[in-house]
A and B are shown apart, each in its own frame.
Chain A
Amino acid sequence: MSNRYIYVSRRQVIRGLLATAAFGATSKLWTGCSSSPTDTASTSGTSGASPDADKPITIGFIYNAPKDDYGWNQAHAVGASAIASIPGIKIIEQESVPETKEVQEVMRNMIDQDGATVVIPTSFGYFDPHVLEVAKAYPDVQFLHCGTLWKEGLSKNIGSFFALVDEGQYLAGRVAAQASKAGKIGFVGAKPINPVLRNINSFMLGARSVKPDIKMQVIFTGDWSLPVKEADATNSLADQGFDVIAVHVDSPKVVIETAEKRGVLSSGFHSDQSALAPKGYLTGTMYNWGTIYKKYAELLKAGKTLMDGGVPHQFIGGIAEDYIGLATFGPAVTEPIKKNVEAAKAKLVDGSAVVYKGAIKDNAGAVQIPAGTTYKVTAPELTKMDWLAEGVSGKTS
């Protein structure tokens, strides 16, 4: 008789499987992780901006996906860990936070429960309306958002920081062009929106600066994280004989690993993926968020704030500021290529060369940047770029 309590009907089993699958699908909703166990009791309920001598400044980092994603979030987590050991700075982290009311709650909890006086929400979509709303409610807490969205007239306690990747991609493009034997580069991108198009175009401009007849094929998967489509795109590019594959999605992991399996070269993005593809990884643009976070940490430790103007409301830079760099070179990058890239990098850093130097045509033949015009990476015109450069096959819509 005892087995009638463990009897499970077929309907029950199906329902359980279905529910478990649904549960797995929702795992994005359940939040949270931390690398630093912290004692909340001593700091709860305070939100003052000025640091005491004995009380560390608590900085809360918020990520929109796991912080070991080999992508955008990992780049930030590496940056955060660079300031974790600075005396007087304490970091708390929470990962996989969606861009809904959830992130507002997480910010509030970090402030109210963990005593954070500085919050760094690292995803673009956290800004409007979430950061704007919470910043109003906590005028003494500083919100440093990763993006270029700060503008005059917002709450005094909001700041932006961002790194422009065009120069890194230009250099990565030069590496890719020299490593490619077929003269055909593949690119797996998320969506045909401005940051991705800039990324593709600067890569192509770099590639064409060493091999003017090189071709590129772009495949847009349609969203920031679609691992199956990313693998499909990589495989189909490999099938068609593209021997270098570059990528701009949330996490380049799938593309890099798939390329490695197929024995083609790959160029990464966001963070260093060299461990994923010990044979085929070339290099890739890597964010050095630690550079910016260290600057913030020093200013904050000196008692400066966004509100009193001691901390600038905007940090934007590129390779000259060391906000970006190139990831570890893989074995396919030979000495001459390395030398070539180092020389090009030095020119970009000292300003004697720029990525966007007219005339630049789009892939339909129209001149987009006229001859004689050069744009620095901070030029506002570049944020309107909605075309693909000459030699790139693909559509922007």
Chain B
Amino acid sequence: MALSRFNWRSRAESVVIPLAALMVALVLFGIFCMFGGKNPFAVYAAIFKTAFGSWNAFQGTLLRAAPLMLTALCTALPARLGLMVIGNEGALVLGGLGAAAVGLILSYGSITPNPAQLQTTLGLAPTVVQIGMALGGIIAGGIWIAIVGALRHYRAVNETISSLLMNYIAIALLNHLVEGSWKDPASLNKPSTFPIPELYRLGNIGSTRIHYGLIYGLVACAIAYFLIQHTTFGFAARTAGGNVKAARIAGLPVGQLTIIICFLAGSSAGLAGMVEVAAVQGQANASIVAGYGYAGILVAFIARYNALAAAIVAILLGGIINSGGALQRSFGMPDATVLVFQGLVFLVVLYSESLYGRFKIFKEPEIPLAPPPATSSAVPV
């Protein structure tokens, strides 16, 4: 009975505490602005206006949020299994490479098409090529982080360290390929792969300037949430994350779980790489290494590894990034101001984690036990 009751108090707790933390961060930032001689309320208004103030402004926010949703999952999913994976940037890069390779093969029949091949495409439908690129990104990114999971499970290599170091390998691999065997000879000053034909790139949603990466991000977050919270697979993963010994004793396949979750995590970031290649850059080059992976780690932390919350936090962070430039140009604040704001948000939210379960108001009232049967005579025989 008590188990099936909707636990609104703890739900409220997980909404109220982050919101309160955000408020505290805003107040601290306001004090910081006052020391800089700026009116904090004018600054708040500017942040709000440039990030969420109009549909046009909000598009900029969503656009910046899109890759963060996907890269956040790369940290959020393994965290439910008790793993701290920070290889988001590397998985994104691999995903970008995979997508570019598949896209070029499906377009021209080769990653490095010769001039004759460049004249005509193979004539596949755009949807086919786009799905191919997405799969290329998903598989390449997925395998990259699955390696981290396998190293962890079979060789007990610390997954945080290995995934961090693999970021550098991924970036080196990208540079090696785009400056070497995959290079488009026409890209002299900025070595890149051959460009994906315009026809096969991901467009924008309707008449907005937001690309389809946002839809991918929202869908991926929803799927991840469902998978973790509402399936036996997710339950098994959370069990293993809670107590790996107990999970083993219960007969859960911890190794499989680790590798599958890591694959899914990497494939999310890989998909972000595909979006960067297919919707933004049109080719793979060093510009896809833009820090989205590392920003995704922050999103996952603030969202407390909840995939749905990650989507919301990504939009919030997208808004802060969006307001950054305009804030600087309008208020003439020093470069580091926006960093200070983000740092404050981040630290306060992290601190607020220690407050969970400390407020009585969010505790479920004790359910009174039924009084013991009074006397045997009361029960009719």
Q: Mark B344-368, 1 if CB is under 8 A from A, else 0.
A: 0011001101110010000000000
User: Interface size for chain A: under 10, 10 to 19, 20 to 34, or 35 or more residues?
Assistant: 35 or more
Q: Are A35 and B350 in contact (CB under 8 A)?
A: no
Q: Are A101 and B64 in contact (CB under 8 A)?
A: yes
Secondary structure of the B contact surface, majority rule: helix
Determine which of B50, B324, B355 lies in contact with A30 in the assembled complex, contact meaning CB atoms within 8 Å.
B324
Q: Mark B317-342, 1 if CB is under 8 A from A, else 0.
A: 00001101111111111110011001
Contacts of A193 in B (CB 8 A): 179, 188-189, 191
Q: Are B287 and A5 in contact (CB under 8 A)?
A: no
Does B291 lie at the interface of the complex (its beta carbon under 8 Å from any beta carbon of A)?
A: yes
Q: Are B86 and A18 in contact (CB under 8 A)?
A: yes
Q: Are A23 and B290 in contact (CB under 8 A)?
A: no
Q: Are B332 and A100 in contact (CB under 8 A)?
A: no
Which of B23-31, B149-157, B275-283 is the interface stretch?
B275-283
The chain A residue sitting closest to B334, CB to CB, is: A33
CA distance A31 to B321 in the complex (A): 7
Does A368 lie at the interface of the complex (its beta carbon under 8 Å from any beta carbon of B)?
A: no
Q: Are A28 and B291 in contact (CB under 8 A)?
A: yes
Which residues of B163-207 have CB atoms within 8 Å of chain A's CB atoms?
172, 175, 179-180, 188-191
Does A339 lie at the interface of the complex (its beta carbon under 8 Å from any beta carbon of B)?
A: no
Contacts of A98 in B (CB 8 A): 287, 290-291
Q: Are A8 and B64 in contact (CB under 8 A)?
A: no
Q: Are A32 and B190 in contact (CB under 8 A)?
A: no
Determine which of A25, A147, A222 lies in contact with B294 in the assembled complex, contact meaning CB atoms within 8 Å.
A25
Which of B103-111, B133-141, B295-303 is the interface stretch?
B295-303
Does B84 lie at the interface of the complex (its beta carbon under 8 Å from any beta carbon of A)?
A: yes
User: Interface size for chain B: under 10, 10 to 19, 20 to 34, or 35 or more residues?
Assistant: 35 or more
Q: Are A12 and B350 in contact (CB under 8 A)?
A: yes
CA distance A36 to B331 in the complex (A): 9
Which residues of A25-71 have CB atoms within 8 Å of chain B's CB atoms?
25-38, 40, 66
CA distance A99 to B276 in the complex (A): 11
Which residues of B52-72 have CB atoms within 8 Å of chain A's CB atoms?
56, 60, 63-64
CA distance A97 to B325 in the complex (A): 9
Q: Are B335 and A129 in contact (CB under 8 A)?
A: no
Contacts of A195 in B (CB 8 A): 188-189
Contacts of A38 in B (CB 8 A): 329-330, 332
Which residues of A110-144 have CB atoms within 8 Å of chain B's CB atoms?
110, 112-114, 124-125, 128-129
Determine which of B180, B294, B355, B358 lies in contact with A22 in the assembled complex, contact meaning CB atoms within 8 Å.
B294
Contacts of B324 in A (CB 8 A): 30-32
Q: Are A4 and B180 in contact (CB under 8 A)?
A: no
Which A residues are closer than 8 A to B by beta carbons?
4-5, 7-9, 12, 15-16, 18-20, 22-23, 25-38, 40, 66, 92-102, 104-106, 108-110, 112-114, 124-125, 128-129, 147, 191, 193-195, 222-223, 383, 397
